[in-house]
Amino acid sequence: MEFDTNGLDAIDQEIIRKLIIARDQNGEPRIGDYVRFSTGELERFSHDWGDGLQTSAGGSFFLCNNGGASFSGGLNPCTSADKLEQTDAELPGSFWIFHHNVAGAGRGVHFKIPCRVYLTTASYEGFLGKDFCSHEIDALKKQLESDLIRQIAILTGINAHGEAYQLGAKTLGLIKLSERFADINRRHLQLGYLSHELDLERMHAYEELMGHARTHMEAADYQQFYMAM
């Protein structure tokens, strides 16, 4: 995913490219990256406490010279870092810098760069109202769901069905079902083959997954989900 230059001149574009390179050196969840909660809420990391990160559905993100970012706006409670799982998906995130790196009033320039996406099993405890929400979030939720379904299709295409089912359960926010698939996958790996008992257990879990999808998804979305499986 390329960054959205938003009509910036060559100097600002080169500054941003260097900041992206610096930012990508950080393998941990970064300020401005996205997290999707099991109940479907999508927010961005806005403050890092080390063992957890606060999140926000809106606000302003300034991209720093070291590739980090600082946030201005309302913050929701902390999400534990050990309950975060990075996906292969990316979503565009809005940031700003000073024009030509020269600080001053009215010199902010805005753009979008690729941001990582994490899933969490943590409960959503956000309390900020709609005034703090970005109008882009709903569209990004839909884009993320499509990206996750594409990842499921890739796993299915290489016969990694257990992993596909596990990601499918996470995509629908079915944490306990996802953990069941993870346990089945772990025992499958330990055995070195899929026993008849494990196959039956996985089939029953799959039927539960698809039953939930059929009941809770729009027809077109369900068809996409079903085909990916």
pLDDT digits 0-9 by tens, 22-35:
999 998 999 999 99
CA distance 94 to 206: 38
**160-181 tens-digit pLDDT:** 999 999 999 999 989 899 999 9
**105-162 tens-digit pLDDT:** 989 999 999 999 999 988 889 887 666 666 778 789 888 988 999 999 999 999 999 9
Distances (CA, A) of 32 to 62, 155, 172, 207: 9, 28, 23, 37
- State the pTM of this model: 0.84
The pair of structure tokens assigned to 127 is 């309390």
Which residue is associated with the tokens 């790196």?
A: 101
Domain boundaries in the chain? Answer: 10-134, 148-228
Residue 7 one-letter amino acid: G
The pair of structure tokens assigned to 166 is 């596990």
Classify residue 4 by its DSSP letter: B
The H or E element containing residue 42 is: strand 42-48
